[in-house]
Structure 1
Amino acid sequence: MEYLYILCLLAPCYATLNNKKFPDDFMFGTATSSYQVEGAWNEDGKGENIWDRLLHTNPNFTVNGDNGDITCNSYHKYKEDVALVKELNVTHYRFSLAWARILPNGHVDQINEAGVQYYKNLITELRANNIEPLVTIYHWDLPQTLQDEGGWPSSDIVDRYADYARLCFSLFGEDVKYWMTFNEPKEFCLQGYGEGTNAPGIKESGTGEYLCAHHVLKAHAKAWHIYEEEFRPTQNGQVGIVLDTNWYEPATDSAEDEIASDTKLQFVFGWYAHPIFKGDYPEVMKNNIQRRSLAQGYAVSRLPEFTPEEIEYVKGTADFLGLNTYSSMLVQPRKYTDVSAMGSEYDSEVEEWYDDSWPKGASPWLVVTPWGIQKLLRWIKNEYNNPRTIITENGYSDYDGTLDDVDRINYIQQYLSGIRDAMDEDGVNVFGYTVWTLIDNLEWVFGFTNKFGLYNVDFNSPNRTRTAKKSVGVYQNIIRTRCLVDDCIDS
């Protein structure tokens, strides 16, 4: 394997990489999610989920009509995937449980033993190879039966999720020490129940995403309390949540643009982080949405309210923060505010855009701005009292899955350098980093056209052959040396 740092091919890049070693206990890993890699969509008793239903009834929803029916076939190839994880020499592997594979109808009255055994086998295989499993309980794939009952905008979902989480802790908790209740709730609430661009495809901007988020936060808190009271004394694990955000860079150094940056971060990240780490929604969210709701003719704010008891129940329910971040955007106050416009984007009253000069990945939302990750980590530290944080997703997409993935190598090295800078210069409490993703997989509505993997997957082969890209060797070397450059100094 070639370990050469194919550094930036842009001369200045090498000089800017941090030259301090990562701490010996810093965790390096990689990740996948159930719907994106498992396949076997209706095998061994698995129930239908909202992505199954959406893409089977509306194949044009994704590029080329791609879906997760087979995708990487990891359900049958999990041992091969664990071997790849082992080859990387990472400390941890983050994956998600498919709710409908464990509970086909979403309820705990019907447990699918074959699905349970699959995850037990996967966890056993990881443990046998000294790989720490980081388990996401929910990564976007709600059982269709629960969507038929109202989905995330329905208050009933809180107890259904709590039942499911309790079962997961009971089934797998002896071998799992890191739990994440949700992956990117902002995305599945906003896109699934607001804009309608992800499953289940419901368009209720301005109301749907807020109801979804409100119930997600209550469900998260309930799961944390269940673990705290029923499982932590014997299992000694940790429960966190994975939140995602860009860094929002002020377009100028004006006070107005600085305020716009903070406002956007509160509407995107604080929406979920504030109730968990500080109690209740951010003030700017409550004020903006109430003012706009009243102007639109609503009697009360479209943003649901927590009771004082709920505020206290949700507050403090994270042992660590999982952070997914890839890109940055420029922001300024929205020049022309349409008070009738619905949706969290309009409620923030902030305008956002990408600078055309920033390098881009295949995904339309991915731009290469490694300077943004240090600023974001610094903001999170200052806003939320420096929570213990692991980067649970960060990576680069291309179109062809090339094995000579120099752009991905550059991206990973530069973002890791920004993280190390934040740890060194700002004292940010980051304990790990996770590359998205282990293998090329189904990138949601972009199908198989956006490839993030360290390993190429041949989707034209019945065997879904995996092949290492150049980034594998570079990541292996980073983990082995804990360095981003040839000559590191101790931290």
Structure 2
Amino acid sequence: MEKFSQETRHNYQFPKHFWWGSAASGPQTEGAADREGRKPSIWDYWYTIEPDCFHKGIGPENTSDFYHRYKQDIQLMKETGHNSFRTSIQWSRLIPDGAGEVNPEAVNFYNRVINELIANNIEPFINLYHFDMPMAMQEKGGWECRDVVDAYVDFAKTCFQLFGDRVNYWFTFNEPIVPVEAGYLYQLHYPKIVDFKRAAQVAHHTIVAHAKAVEVFKNLRIDGKIGIILNLTPSYPRSQDPEDVQAARVADLFFNRSFLDPVTKGRYPEELIEILRDRELLPVVEPGDLETIRENPIDLLGVNYYQPRRVKKKEEILPEGAAFMPEHLFDPYIMPGRKINPHRGWEICEEVIFDIMIDLRDNYGNLPFFISENGMGVEGEAKFRNAEGYIEDHYRIEFIQNHLKWVHKGLLEGANCLGYHLWTFMDNWSWTNAYKNRYGLVEVDLDNHLKRTIKKSGRWYKQLSENNGF
């Protein structure tokens, strides 16, 4: 008999009190971008100067209007089986200038959202930073600036003090490596800088900000858990050739362990430090930084998993004098015959989620974690609308099931996984992609006053949650 089996009719039964829910963010769902005291973030500013960078010119003010429809949306969460839900507090809404005055309208809004979730037996998971630097802070230098680190810590403390009596699960950052990569290496997000040394400084300051926020949380003696959400993309070598294996190891250092190790083990990987020291790319580390990182490990890890990274030894010749990039040490590898989501261009490889679970079990003290994002973006979903008026997204149900089978196997092998959150609850605005790919359990109809309709996957998700398995 399986370890968690309670009802024999379900092949995959999950532990009691498993978290079933979804994840979203304030900037991607709230809307009301210039209402009731909120000031611009880097996204609002970037849209004003380069609207063509956004799919179909749809900017961050055109999101799903959760700000005005949160009560309706939370009822839909209940109808889709949520016992937990993650969103984020927008720094630019709560403290519009990044530092200084707290916006009472924002306090009122977030209080109402948190209270409404709790009233519907949905545990609020609150994240503090989801790529949305207030423009007032970016003008000071963003994460390159030490004053911005201090301002973030004050913002975190304000959130803990305002909402910590009801929020039990806090997260300092979602995918903190993304602003590093996208904003300071690959020109995908504002400020679109290409400079590895500055990227390294941004990464270090982000980790210091995280550790200081954890320290404040612990000092306030709040009854709850605090962690961080990391997007883990395990690196797999093309072959067992030693050079391919080393290429995968180096990719793993840059894209996974650079953040995972300091927040769990309290230190940067020595091998990564050596690589950067040899190239004179180490960030400035101020006295006390490493101690703060060492002394403030997380209670709980969120793991966002979408796709693996496949690499091979460096074969492409580098242009002479090219500024350093991680890809100078390995080349990407496209595995023949891979399964792919054609809408997003991402590989679908479900068993990787099991590899992550075993790695956390064996190499990170089996710390408590949950799958905090996993999902499938699909373009043109309206073509799957049936005669009853809802979208039959059978492919999304299959995607979730195939990943959960491997989560279940990881649990049977002793990994300390506490739940599964899908990205996302309802179709939402997604950075430069806007509404190109839909991820939701609930459709948002842009052509019909943002009307919400539960998809087939949302109905199935309720059964999944109620049965605690499938």
- Verify same fold: TM over 0.5: yes
Q: Output one character per residue of 1:59-107: Cα deviation in whole Å (capped at 9) or x when no partner.
A: 0111111112131111111111101111122210000011111111111
**AA in 2 matched with 1:327:** Q
1:218: which partner in 2?
Answer: 208
Matched, 1:436 2:436: no
CA distance in 1, matches of 2:187, 2:207: 21
For the 8 Å contact 2:344–2:437, the answer to whether it is kept is: no
Residue pairs, 1:88-127, within 5 angstroms: 88-107=80-99, 109-127=100-118
1:241 to 228, 237, 255: 228
1:417 to 396, 405, 418: 405
**AA in 2 matched with 1:409:** I
Residue pairs, 1:151-300, within 5 angstroms: 151-198=142-189, 200-230=190-220, 232=221, 235-291=222-278, 293=279
Q: Output one character per residue of 1:252-290: Cα deviation in whole Å (capped at 9) or x when no partner.
A: 233433333232222111111111222332122212222
CA distance in 2, matches of 1:362, 1:79: 35
CA distance in 2, matches of 1:62, 1:277: 36
Matched, 1:47 2:39: yes
CA distance in 1, matches of 2:86, 2:334: 30
CA distance in 1, matches of 2:17, 2:442: 26
CA distance in 1, matches of 2:346, 2:455: 20
Question: Once the two structures are aligned, what percentage of the paired residues are identical?
Answer: 31
For the 8 Å contact 1:247–1:373, the answer to whether it is kept is: no
For the 8 Å contact 1:40–1:73, the answer to whether it is kept is: yes
2:17 to 25, 48, 53: 25
**AA in 2 matched with 1:358:** R
CA distance in 2, matches of 1:365, 1:332: 20
CA distance in 2, matches of 1:366, 1:34: 25
**AA in 2 matched with 1:346:** E
Compared CA separation, residues 143 and 362, structure 1 to 2 (3 A): farther
- Gaps (5+ residues) in structure 2? 1-9, 385-390
CA distance in 2, matches of 1:350, 1:429: 32
Q: What do you get for the CA RMSD once the two structures are aligned? A: 1.8
1:373: which partner in 2?
Answer: 353
CA distance in 2, matches of 1:381, 1:359: 27
Compared CA separation, residues 308 and 144, structure 1 to 2 (3 A): closer
CA distance in 1, matches of 2:199, 2:176: 10
Residue pairs, 1:141-152, within 5 angstroms: 141-152=132-143
2:367: which partner in 1?
Answer: 387
CA distance in 2, matches of 1:38, 1:21: 35
CA distance in 2, matches of 1:336, 1:367: 23
Partner SS for 2:146: coil
Partner SS for 1:117: helix
- Gaps (5+ residues) in structure 1? 1-17, 294-300, 485-491
Partner SS for 1:466: strand
Q: Output one character per residue of 1:132-160: Cα deviation in whole Å (capped at 9) or x when no partner.
A: 00000111111100000110111221101
1:67 to 42, 59, 66: 59
**AA in 2 matched with 1:467:** T
CA distance in 2, matches of 1:167, 1:343: 39
**AA in 2 matched with 1:56:** T
1:313: which partner in 2?
Answer: 292
Compared CA separation, residues 446 and 476, structure 1 to 2 (3 A): same
How far did 1:336 drift?
A: 4.2
**AA in 1 matched with 2:406:** G
1:466: which partner in 2?
Answer: 452
2:283: which partner in 1?
Answer: 304
For the 8 Å contact 1:195–1:205, the answer to whether it is kept is: no
Greater Cα offset, 182-191 or 278-287: 278-287
Q: Output one character per residue of 1:161-187: Cα deviation in whole Å (capped at 9) or x when no partner.
A: 000000000111111000000010100
How far did 1:337 drift?
A: 6.2
CA distance in 1, matches of 2:325, 2:232: 14
How far did 1:391 drift?
A: 1.0
For the 8 Å contact 2:238–2:335, the answer to whether it is kept is: no
Partner SS for 1:138: coil
How far did 1:204 drift?
A: 2.6
CA distance in 2, matches of 1:276, 1:411: 30
**AA in 2 matched with 1:240:** G
Q: TM-score, normalised by structure 2?
A: 0.92
For the 8 Å contact 1:437–1:453, the answer to whether it is kept is: yes
Compared CA separation, residues 421 and 259, structure 1 to 2 (3 A): farther
2:387: which partner in 1?
Answer: none
For the 8 Å contact 2:441–2:455, the answer to whether it is kept is: yes
**AA in 2 matched with 1:101:** R
How far did 1:341 drift?
A: 3.6
Compared CA separation, residues 192 and 424, structure 1 to 2 (3 A): same
Partner SS for 1:104: coil
Q: Output one character per residue of 1:205-238: Cα deviation in whole Å (capped at 9) or x when no partner.
A: 31222111111100001000001011x2xx3111
**AA in 1 matched with 2:167:** V
Number of aligned residues: 451
For the 8 Å contact 1:194–1:208, the answer to whether it is kept is: no
For the 8 Å contact 1:267–1:344, the answer to whether it is kept is: no
CA distance in 1, matches of 2:450, 2:264: 42
CA distance in 1, matches of 2:212, 2:380: 43
For the 8 Å contact 2:238–2:333, the answer to whether it is kept is: no
CA distance in 2, matches of 1:64, 1:238: 40
For the 8 Å contact 1:180–1:239, the answer to whether it is kept is: yes
